[in-house]
Amino acid sequence: MQHFKTLSSYLEYLELPRPEHPMFSMYSAMGKGFLPCPKESSPPITNDCYSISFKKFIQGELTYGRTRYDFSNGALFFLAPRQVLQWNSDAVFEQKGFSINFHEDFLKGTELAHQIKKYGFFSYSANEALHLSPKEEKQIELIIENIDLEYQNNPDSFSKDIIVSHLSTLLKYAQRFYERQFINRQELSTNLLEQFNHQLEEYFDSGRLQHEGIPSIEVIADKLSISQRYLSDTLKRETGKTTTEHLHLYLVDEAKNILLDPNKTVSEVAYELGFEYPTYFSRLFKKKEGISPTAYREKYRMN
235: closest CA among 225, 247, 223?
247
- Average pLDDT over the chain, rounded to an integer: 84
CA 102/CA 125 separation, integer angstroms: 19
Q: How many C-beta atoms surround the C-beta of residue 149 within 10 A?
A: 12
CATH 1.10.10.60 segments of the chain? 187-302
Is 2-184 a CATH 3.40.50 domain?
no
**The pLDDT of residue 63:** 39
pLDDT, tens digit (0-9, with 9 covering 90-100), for 8-20? 999 999 888 888 8
**The pLDDT of residue 50:** 95
pLDDT, tens digit (0-9, with 9 covering 90-100), for 160-193? 999 999 999 999 999 999 888 776 665 555 577 8
What superfamily in CATH does domain 187-302 come from? Homeodomain-like (1.10.10.60)
CA 75/CA 53 separation, integer angstroms: 8
Q: How many CA atoms does the CB half-sphere of 22 hold within 13 Å?
A: 3
CATH 2.60.120 segments of the chain? 2-184
CA angle 182, 235, 205 (to 5 degrees): 135
Average pLDDT on 261-277 reads 89
CA distances from 217 to 154, 191, 221, 222 (A): 47, 17, 6, 8
